A = this chain, B = another copy of it.
Amino acid sequence: MDRADTLELPEITRVRVIYADTDQMGFVYYGNYLRYFEVARTELLRQVGMPYRDFEQREKRQLPVIEAALRYRRAARYDDELALCAAVDHVASNSRFVRFLYAIRRVDADGRPGEHLVDGHTVHACIDAEGKVTRLPPALRDAISARALPPPPAPAPGT
């Protein structure tokens, strides 16, 4: 089970669903939620002081995605306002990968994040200018550690 199921992820930013995002079923096209995940991830990195554009330019690193997963619970509709919630998972000090968790919620009539629509995660490898997988640079690790989730609890004995 995904940890996003049991965690309340903080809201990062909001988007409005436009016609371009919908399909003829009248809902957001299933692939477009990965756009929203990108918006959430990008704004989260900006909020911790490490905009992804700067990361690419200063650190000469990239974070290509190696895995993505989505669960679709309810559909977002045209003109819905969506609260994009996200967090970074705990990063070990020698880690070469980083994992983001997402939850997309419909903003309700009170202007608050309401119904859970879609959640999921992405995993990214850190690669250097030659494309080799490498450790996350300390600057990134420090930036996200303030916002990262706590490490998962060690399993209790006997489980």
Contacts and interface: CB of A to CB of B under 8 A. Distances in A.
A30 B34 contact: yes
A38 B66 contact: no
Nearest to A78: B24
A51 B67 contact: no
A100 to B, nearest CB: 12
B68 A30 contact: yes
Contacts of A34: 20, 30-31, 34
B20 A23 contact: yes
A35 to B, nearest CB: 5
Interface of A: 16, 18-20, 22-27, 29-35, 38-39, 42, 51-53, 62, 64-73, 75, 77-79, 122
Contacts of A64: 25, 27, 72, 75
Given A52-B79, A64-B75, A71-B67, A29 B19 contact: yes
A67 B78 contact: no
A53 B24 contact: no
